[in-house]
Amino acid sequence: MTWLLRDATAIAGIGETAYTKAGGTTRSELDLACEAIARAVADAGLTLRDVDGFSAYSGERSGLTEVAQTLGLGRLRYAGLYPGGGNSAAGVVHNAAMAVGSGTARAVVCYRSICQGQHLRFGRARAGYGTGAKTVGETIGGTQAFTMPFGLMSPAQMYALDARRHMHEFGTTSEHFGRIAVACYAAAQRNPRAVMRGRPLTLEMHQASRMIADPYHLYDCCQESDGACALVVTTRERAAQPVLIAGASQGLAAGDGNERHRRPEALWTTAGMADIAEALYANAGIGPEEIDVAQVYENFTGQVLMALEDFGLCKRGEGGPFVASGAIDWPHGRLPINTSGGNLAEAYIHGLSLVVEGVRQMRGTSTCQVEKARHCLVVSGPSAPPSSALILRRA
C-alpha cells in the first residue's frame, strides 16, 4: 500500500482509438498508442511538450522511449512500469499520481496499446504464460513447471477454479455469472465505441453458449481486441476539467499468485483484494456505501462477483443474489457497473479503458450516465496479484 495525497491530483484528459476485434486493424500498436496519447493530451488542454512523465504496463510493447521519440516529447522526468497486465490498470494511474504529487513530474501520461490480432492472444492456452514463450517446446520454469503438467495452461482454466469454489461454498450459480455479462452487454448497446454494440445478450444466450473452462461459458470471458487508450494525470489546479483521484491502493495478498500454486485456502473464494479495498477507502476518506458507480475488471465474470464482495459492496458469499437482484444494472440498479460495456462488451484494452469510463462518469458524459454520481470505484484485475484500485471523485 502506498501514500497518496487525497484529491491533490486529477485526471485531466482521456483519449482512445477506435476499438475492434482482434485482427481488426492493420496499424501497429505504436501507431495506436501515439494516437490515443495525442488525443488525451489535447483533451487535457495541454501540448505534447507539456508531458514530462510516462506510467505504463510492464507488458507494453510500445516502449516509453519509442513513444517519446515518435511524439517528439521534451525532457521526461518520470518513467514507470507497473508489473503485469490487467492488474495494472489502476496501478499505472496510482504511480502517475505519486509522481505528480511528489513533484517529480507535472503531467504524466498513462497508456495501453494492444493488437491481439498481430501479437500474443492472452486467452490462448500456451507454455510460458506471462513469460513470452509461445510454444510448448519453449523452456518454462517457476510455478508453471508445476501447474502445466496438470493442464493448467490458460487464464480461463486458472480463474475457473476460484469460480467453482465460490459456487461450492455459497451456492453461486452460472446464471449469477451470466447476469454480469448481460449487464455489460446492455451497457454496450448505448456505447458507439463498443465492439459488441448491436449484439445484445440475453441470459438464455449466455447459458446456451459453449463452455470454455467449467463453469465459464463463452460470454463469461473477456474479448480479444485491438486498440489503445490513454489518460493524463496532473495536479488538480492545472487540470481544466479535473476528475479528482480521491484514493488509490495497490498490493499483494500474502501467498497469492496467478497460477494458484500454494495459494492460501481463504483466498479461493475471493478476488484477493480485501486488503487493497480497506486501504483504498481509508485513503479516500469514504466507505463502500458512498460508491455510486463501479468499473470492475472482467477477465471473467466470477472475478467481478468476488471483487464486489471484497470491496464491501455486498456481503461475503452474497454476490450471486446481489447481481441477480438487478443492483448492478443501469439505470435503476443501486450500483451500476461497467457502464461502457467493459472488457466483455466494449473492448479488452487490459482494463485501462475502465479508468477512461470512470472519468466519463465523473464528468457526466457517459453513454450510461449514473445520475448525481460523485464517486466511481475502479478495480483492476481481480485475483491477479499484485493488483490495484482507484476511487475517482467529481470535482
Active site (catalytic) residues = 297, 348
Q: Grid coordinates representing 291?
A: 460508491
What does the alpha-carbon distance between residue 162 and residue 40 come to, in Å, rounded to a whole number?
37
Task: Map the chain to HEC letters.
Answer: CCCCCCCCEEEEEEEECCCEECCCCCCCHHHHHHHHHHHHHHHCCCCHHHCCEEEEECCCCCCHHHHHHHHCCCCCCEEEEECCCHHHHHHHHHHHHHHHHCCCCCEEEEEEEEECCCCCCCCCCCCCCCCCCCCCCCCCCCCHHHHHHHCCCCHHHHHHHHHHHHHHHHCCCHHHHHHHHHHHHHHHCCCCCCCCCCCCCCHHHHHHCCEEECCEEHHHECCCEEEEEEEEEEECCCCCCCEEEEEEEEECCCCCCCCCCCCCHHHCCCCCCHHHHHHHHHHHCCCHHHCCEEEECCCEHHHHHHHHHHCCCCCCCCHHHHHHCCCCCCCCCCCCECCCCHHHHCCCCCCHHHHHHHHHHHHCCCCCCCCCCCEEEEECCCCCCCEEEEEEEEC
The residue among 307, 247, 212, 187 whose CA lies nearest residue 3 is 247
What does the alpha-carbon distance between residue 386 and residue 355 come to, in Å, rounded to a whole number?
18
For the chain, give the number of residues. Answer: 395
